[in-house]
Amino acid sequence: MEAIDTYLMYCAMKAHFGKTDYDFVTYHGKTRIKRDSFYKRKDRSFFVKISRKYKTEENIKNYFVSNFIKDGKGYVSNFSDENYEEWKDKRANFYNQFTLEISPLVKNFNPLFVIKDDEHPLLLKEF
């Protein structure tokens, strides 16, 4: 992926996380940002570095999502590889992380999902 495409994805993500009227998924990451605006930025090297390091569109998108979760304002100076690695670990260990976080709230977790006599599980009934 080219650096300019990385920049355009960043702009779309920033609009998604920063504005209420833009949805990245609905508009497929398209914005009205002009490609020329990339060349006016002083932090172009950041987008070059990200496009070279993560290469695929999916990895770059995940990098931006993980950093926008940490910093809602979307300042590229606050973006870091540590945020991305932490986010990847959380996604990889989602079930373990979820059970660990919910355990103080629910003492006996597994019976909430048990289905008896074609009835809905307790968790669904309570919901």
Start-to-end C-alpha separation, the chain: 44
Both 29 and 87 in one domain: the answer is yes
Q: Are residues 22 and 44 in the same domain?
A: yes
Q: What is the CATH number of the domain that holds 61?
A: 1.10.8.60
* The predicted structure's pLDDT at residue 3: 95
Note down the domain range covering 106.
101-127
The predicted-structure confidence for 70-87, as pLDDT tens digits, reads as follows 988 889 999 999 999 999
Same domain, 68 and 109: no
Please check whether residues 15 and 61 belong to one and the same domain: yes
Per-residue tens of pLDDT for the chain, all 127 residues: 999 999 999 999 999 999 889 999 999 999 999 999 999 999 999 999 999 999 999 999 999 999 999 988 889 999 999 999 999 998 999 988 888 888 787 777 778 788 888 889 888 888 7
pTM across the whole model? 0.77
